[in-house]
Amino acid sequence: MEKKLFEFKTKTIVATGLGAALFTLLFMYVKVPTGIPETELQTAYGVGAFFAALFGPITGGLVAFIGHALSDSVQYGSVWWSWVVASGVSCFICGLVYPKLRVEEGEFGAKDIVKFNVFQVVGNVISWVIVAPVLDIVVYAEPVNLVFTQGAVAAVLNSIAAGLIGSILLVLYSKTRSKKGSLTKE
């Protein structure tokens, strides 16, 4: 079956809804400390990238956007919009890899891992080094060098989280699916 980049089926909607709930949960509670204070690997971005690769850019973008906005508002009472938008953008770009993958048919080899990671890194760099700082400056008038430093750190950490956790999840998931044409006639 041919995959369309921007289809919006019932499954896309449900995946968005539940994915965002999962993202919120992980974003709030499941962080892996790196050893450096105040910097943590957000497992949520791994899941965001995973959903983006499985269900496409719309799901990916919305999962991260809703998830981040919700966890911000639950934890802090108000939302830091520039970073929420950047989260959405990073997973949206990562989701562009969706038509190129065949994970649900059990195929996720070394080549696919590379493809996934290229998109994921590009997405993270664009959103955290460009989108987030620029919005921070425009909307909140934050100092320039601070936001770009924060953005660079976030880009590195989130790429690692998305790359590591996303790839592991995709490999594991592809193994649970039966491959196309894996049955042989005896």
By the rule CB under 8 A, 35 interacts with another protein? yes
Q: Are 135 and 81 in contact (CB under 8 A)?
A: yes
Choose the stretch contacting another protein; rule: CB under 8 A; options: 35-43, 85-93, 106-114, 125-133: 35-43
Asked if 113 is part of the footprint of another protein (rule: CB under 8 A), the reply reads no
**Closer to another protein at the Cβ: 93 or 103?**
103
Asked if 53 and 170 count as a contact pair (C-beta separation under 8 A), the reply is: yes
CB of 53 to another protein, least distance (A): 13
The whole-angstrom separation of Cα 38 and Cα 42 is 12
Beta carbon nearer to another protein, 118 or 149: 149
By beta-carbon proximity to another protein, the closer residue of 4 and 9 is 9
Q: Which of 42, 45, 49, 50 binds another protein (CB under 8 A)?
A: 50
- Residue 162 touches another protein, criterion: CB under 8 A: no
- Taking CB under 8 A as the criterion, the residue among 4, 6, 7, 8 binding another protein is 8
Q: Which is nearer to another protein, 118 or 139 (CB)?
A: 139
